[in-house]
Structure 1
Amino acid sequence: MKYLFILGRNSELSKEEVRAFMEKEENKILFEKKEKNALFLETKNPIKKEVVDFLGGTISIGEVLEEGTWKELFTKLDKKQIYLGESNKLNYLIWNFSEDNSYNQISDYLKARFRSEKLKATEKHASGFIKTQEGEEVRNLRSPNVEEEFFIFGDKNKIYFGKIIQKCDYEKIELRDTKKPVRRPELSISPRLAKILINLSQVKQDETLLDPFCGIGVILQESLLQNISVVGIDRDKKAIDGCKQNLIWFNFDKNKYKILNSDSTKINLAEKFSGIATEPDLGTILKKTPTPNEAKKTLEDFEDLMIKVINNFKKNLKPNSKIVFTSPLIRLHTGKRISCNGERISNATGIKIAPGFPIDEFREGQIVGRQIFVLNR
């Protein structure tokens, strides 16, 4: 099966999340290729219908309908019903990820095709550009009001044409984040990033995930929505009370979660966990750029904290499990961003950093961003 994943602003992080998710689902990737913010995958098995709801870094997913040279592609498409709707009015969009920028050929084909089928079809265009984490400018990923979205991917030797079959429901995610009883916008991570961390941990349904710095429970809620059991710990009593309120508001099965007001550097747990996903304390919220010495102190304190926490819980981790966490990425006056010493954490805990990590996650102008670490037990 062949699919196209249209990735979010941080396409490198999103790509690693998709890879981890497929591995967790035991759906082998037979071939992959990335072009700008699009990831083309050939997988051994079909993907599930609700996959995009579980992914934090994917905007939409398309399925390849036909492939070949342009001549072969058009011959195949002539024999295939492309539009399956009942209305004779159609607004559609084409995502262009072809290397030779051959958008005009598919655009002209679809216009002629829909005209021959007596459809009142109008091609819409995504307006504006956004800057990705990698500094590239790509078309705005939020599409206008359309009934169908198509895509092309490839080069002059082989073009893949397909249709978007799954789209991220931003309104639903925002609603559940803003309507819950307790929020901490300045401290809590987004549901999007929470899902990415969970998927990178590769904890499966009916397994148990540990969050040693659970706060008001964003990672816990997103795990429970995937039918993953959780244990959450935080030494902040107010945060723990808020976490309990939020999980009750979601009406989760109370047998699926345990919330503890304790210190993750010291607490002794008997349970075994399939993985850890967490956002620790990233340091004081900064309104102005710190000095190099202040930044260095913040990063060293963070390293000390993570070494203690990982050493405390590594006995509770099942074999081959993963530890996923965010760390501070601090911008100095020079514009340079500095991060914690991951090798120091790895050496002091005896747990190796996964290939390809850490990955930066920040927005332009942000003083404290994040690095995403994955450690392999």
Structure 2
Amino acid sequence: MKYLFILGRNVELSVEEIKSSFERDKINFKIISLVDNGLLVETEKNLQKGIIEKFGGVISIGEVLISGTFDKISEELDKKNLYFGTSNKLNYVVFDFNGKNFEKILFYLKQRFKEERLKATLKKLTGNIKLQSGEIVSNVASNLINEQYFVFENNFGRIIEEYDYDSVEKRDMEKPVRRNELSISPRLAKILINLSQVREGEILLDPFCGIGVVLQEALLQKIKVIGVDSDKIVIENAKRNMKWFNFFESNYQLINRDSTKVRVREVSCIVTEPDLGELQRRTPSDQKAKEIIANFEKLMINVLRNLKQHVTGRIVFTAPLVVAVKGKISPDFEKIANESGLKMVLKPIQEFRESSIVGRNIIVME
């Protein structure tokens, strides 16, 4: 089967998330092509229904219906149902990822729906996403769209799953304790979990758990967790959030200790956002930026040295990407790996926004 993954703003990070997830789940796959934020993938077997909810960097997933010339596509589409609604009113959009015969396919759809006596209207993609590369790509902005199709090079297909941003945001906003400036988003937490390749039933360790964003996203995927934080109040707040989610207490453990000294049982992976340094309200001097970086390197080396012998799999963490006067400054990850007795699995992936003073590097070691 061929599938289209429409990716979020950080295309590089989303691609690595998909690759790690498929490798973990032993899904044989081949990346066919990447156009803008559209990734075309071929898999040996059909993807599990609802798989999009496991991802953090995927907006929607489409299934390729026909590949080939326009004549072949139109001939085969005549045999397929393209609209699965009950109303005779249809609003639809068509994504164009370097689509061959795109205009011909638009005309085919118009005539097809007319023949089926549907009041069909082709809507424009009025939403925009600014990718981390700076490129602007189109996206669906309306909730009044009944069907979404796509033309990706010589492939035509239909969107079959969309990420439910509303429900994720709702549960994040309604939980008892939130820390807007100090916590990563559920979206990024999911990405880090997928990069770790941890499986259902295994144990994830977050040595800087805060109020438990990574923990909750792991528990929602039936992954057991251990959370450590040196701040007693933060641990109490994490407990409140865990109880609000109604997670079984047997599936999580919260420890108020210093992660450079804590003792834990064997775990499958580490996934964490450490202390990235104090919040910066304005661009720091190069000296200040280097100080932030040096403190981070020292912290992570000490934590990883303490915990690595208890980890059987990957170690995934974020690290500061500081925008200083003379440009962006990052930690020396080879130094961290070497002094911790680890090795880099992926090259660092940057995650930042134009307005950010401190962004993130996404790091995977083992």
Normalized against structure 2, the TM-score is what?
A: 0.98
2:284 maps to 290
Equivalent of 1:373 in 347, 354, 363: 363
Equivalent residues of 1:124, 1:144 under 8 A apart: no
CA distance in 2, matches of 1:247, 1:229: 12
Letter in 2 for 1:192: R
Structure 2 residue runs of 5 or longer lacking an equivalent are none
- Once the two structures are superposed, what CA deviation does each residue of 1:164-185 show, in whole Å capped at 9, x if it has no partner? 1111111100100000000000
* Post-superposition CA distance 1:179-229 (Å, at most 9, x none): 000000010000000000000000000000000000000000000000000
Q: Which moved more, 1:246-255 or 1:127-136?
A: 127-136
Deviation at 1:128, TM superposition (A): 4.4
Give the letter aligned to residue 353 of structure 2.
Answer: R
Structure 1 residue 272 displacement after superposition: 1.1
Structure 2 residue aligned with 1:2: 2
Deviation at 1:66, TM superposition (A): 1.1
- Cα separation, 1, equivalents of 2:288 and 2:195: 31
Query: Are 2:118 and 1:125 equivalent residues in the alignment?
Result: no
Offset, 1:99: 5.3
Q: Does structure 2 retain, via aligned residues, the 8 Å contact 1:126–1:144?
A: no
The match for 1:255 is: 250
- Partner Cα distance (1:73, 1:167) in 2: 24
Residue equivalent to 2:157: 162
- 2:53 touches 2:163 (CA, 8 Å); kept in 1? yes
What amino acid maps onto 2:96 in structure 1? N
SS of the residue 2:268 aligns to: strand
Would the alpha carbon gap of residues 5 and 143 (structure 1) be closer, same or farther in structure 2, given more than 3 Å must change? farther
TM-score (norm 1): 0.95
The code of the aligned residue for 1:182 comes to V
What's the CA shift for 1:95?
Answer: 1.1
Partner of 1:226: 221
Give the 5 Å matches for 1:322-337: 322-334=314-326, 336-337=327-328
Amino acid at match of 2:56: G
Work out the CA distance in 2 between the residues paired with 1:218 and 1:365: 24
How many residue pairs match? The answer is: 366
In structure 1, give the amino acid aligned to 2:243: I
Closer, same or farther in 2 for the Cα pair 1:224/1:128, shift >3 Å?
A: closer
Listed as ranges, the matches of 1:341-360 within 5 Å are: 341-355=332-346, 357-360=347-350
For residues 245-284 of structure 1, the aligned pairs below 5 Å read 245-269=240-264, 271-284=265-278
SS of residue paired to 2:314:
strand
Counterpart position of 1:19: 19
Partner SS state of residue 273, structure 1: coil
Q: 2:304 aligned with 1:310, yes or no?
A: yes
Written as runs of structure 1 = structure 2, the 5 A alignment for 1:90-169 is 90-98=90-98, 102-140=101-139, 142-154=141-153, 159-169=154-164
Distance across 2 between alignment mates of 1:325 and 1:285: 18
Question: Is the contact made by 2:31 and 2:39 (CA closer than 8 Å) also made in structure 1?
Answer: no
Give distance in 2, aligned partners of 1:51 and 1:125. 27
Unaligned segments of structure 1, at least 5 residues: none
CA contact (8 A) 1:211 1:233 kept: yes
Deviation at 1:142, TM superposition (A): 4.0
CA positional deviation for 1:32? 3.1
Match for residue 62 of structure 1? 62
Q: 2:172 aligns with which of 153, 172, 177?
A: 177
Instruction: Please report how far the alpha carbon of residue 70 of structure 1 lies from its aligned counterpart in structure 2 after TM superposition.
Output: 1.3
**Helix, strand or coil at the partner of 1:197:** helix
Report the more deviating stretch, 15-24 or 102-111.
Answer: 102-111
Structure 2 counterpart of 1:47, one-letter code: L
Amino acid at match of 1:53: E
Identity %: 50
Change (3 A) 1:195 1:142: farther
SS across alignment from 1:122: strand
Aligned partner letter, 2:333: G
Structure 1 position 34, deviation (Å) = 1.1
CA distance in 2, matches of 1:265, 1:141: 46
- The structure-2 alpha-carbon separation of the partners of 1:144 and 1:127, relative to structure 1 and needing over 3 Å to count, comes to farther
**What is the identity, as a one-letter code, of the residue corresponding to 1:228?**
I
The residue type equivalent to 1:146 in the other structure is: I
